[in-house]
Amino acid sequence: MPTILFYLFAILMIAGGVCVVALKNPVSSAMGMIGSFIGLAALLIGLNAYFVGTLQVLVYAGAIMVLFIFIIMLLDLKKEENKEFSASSIAAGVIIPLLFILITIPVYQSVSNDFSKLDKKALVTAEADLPLSEAPKGSIIRTKLKVGELADVNLIGQKLFTEYNFPLQVVGVLLLVATVGCVTLSKKLHGDEPDANPDQRMAKTIAKSSSIPAVVQPVTDTENPEVINSTTSKDESVTEAAVQPKPGTPEITLPLNAKNDEKLGVIYDSRPDDADDLFLINGVGPIIEDKLNGFGVYTFKQIADWSPEVVSQFDDLLSFKGRIERDNWTAQATEFHANKSI
């Protein structure tokens, strides 16, 4: 391969690889990966490995990368994008690969031999040297080699179905197992899956059947604050919903360990018994749940009651740049809370 073409494709390959690591959007990463694989395939073809090079484009740049892009598009990953890489991981990510390159330097020094030419003359001599056991007289391999063509596919096929026949069968079984594994993994599990989806679906159906809010609202409106105070803590969460909007009276329904903060709404001093799994809210991960608990936020009810001012307050505290509003936590929390109190 002429050196200039080699460098062109090598740089395409390396630039694609750098794009994969450096770009934050997973789709851009996948595109960089495709460019990298095309450069790699060109290098393989430059090494007279035509079959492997074609396979590289077909399987890697084609099938595998399409599968990757398909999954990236399928999962909504927008909110993962704006995460910064931590300095320590960048340091480790630079030093360890550099050490690896240092280790490989002796290898580069020890192999300095150039490739011997595979021109017509060399191929004709190779045909003469080829043992009869590998290619019988008059076979395609021999006829192609005689006219100076490298019968790449034929030679690989010859090897694959004689010497490597058993591994080929094993790989067939492996692909079958992978297929079965994919089907099993993609199957919907019922009952034993710790899945947020069933809850959300239930919450949605409850929200859709408009009779529920209609039932909750009148009961709480007619309720007397004194009566509410005497109700058990289980009912409290329901009755609290209606009392909360009225200014001046919210303290009455609050549990003992809670207080009404001016800036942050209702907050708990300690973990209440009816604390909810806040990570069910789309946009709240386990880490953010811990942070919210640190601020005294434990239940969906609290988040559902957040006023726009409280939302912006938490937005600043968690340095979110508007994510609470974007993911609409209050509406989600209202749904979850309605689902819980039914």
Partner 1 sequence: MATASLTEYLFFSGLLFAIGLAGVIIRRNIIVIFMCLEMMLAAASLTLVAFSRANLVNGLPDYDGQMLVFFIITVAAAEVAVGLAIIVALYRARKTISTDDLTSLKN
Q: Which tokens go with 97? A: 């690969």
Least spacing, CB of residue 72 vs partner 1, in Å: 6
Based on CB atoms, which residue is closest to partner 1, 90 or 256? Answer: 90
Based on CB atoms, which residue is closest to partner 1, 63 or 219? Answer: 63
CB 258 within 8 A of CB 266: yes
- Piece in contact with partner 1 (CB under 8 A), picked from 168-176, 202-210, 265-273, 334-342: 168-176
Based on CB atoms, which residue is closest to partner 1, 131 or 308? Answer: 131
Based on CB atoms, which residue is closest to partner 1, 172 or 218? Answer: 172
Contacts (CB under 8 A) with partner 1, residues 67-86: 67-68, 71-72, 74-75, 77, 80, 83, 85
Task: Please give the biggest Cα pair distance in the chain.
Answer: 105
Indicate the length of the chain as a whole number: 342
Spatial CB neighbours of 11, under 8 Å, sequence gap ≥ 6: 39
Query: Phi and psi dihedrals of 196, rounded to 5?
Result: -80, -20
Least spacing, CB of residue 88 vs partner 1, in Å: 10
Closest of 269, 266, 290 to residue 278, by C-alpha: 290
Among 18, 73, 215, 219, binds partner 1 (CB under 8 A): 18
- Piece in contact with partner 1 (CB under 8 A), picked from 120-128, 224-232, 243-251, 262-270: 120-128
- Piece in contact with partner 1 (CB under 8 A), picked from 160-168, 258-266, 268-276, 298-306: 160-168
CB 307 within 8 A of CB 325: no
Q: Which tokens go with 337? A: 């809370």
β pairing state of 258-261 and 265-268: antiparallel
Among 165, 179, 205, 260, binds partner 1 (CB under 8 A): 179
Least spacing, CB of residue 197 vs partner 1, in Å: 7
Contacts (CB under 8 A) with partner 1, residues 183-242: 185-186, 193-197
Closest of 270, 276, 208, 263 to residue 237, by C-alpha: 276
Least spacing, CB of residue 75 vs partner 1, in Å: 5
Contacts (CB under 8 A) with partner 1, residues 255-314: 279, 282, 285-287
Query: Phi and psi dihedrals of 285, rounded to 5?
Result: -100, 175
Among 35, 38, 120, 130, binds partner 1 (CB under 8 A): 130
The conformation of residue 258, written as its DSSP 8-state character, comes to E
- From residue 285, how far is each of 100, 127, 280, 289, 294 by CA, in Å? 35, 65, 8, 6, 14
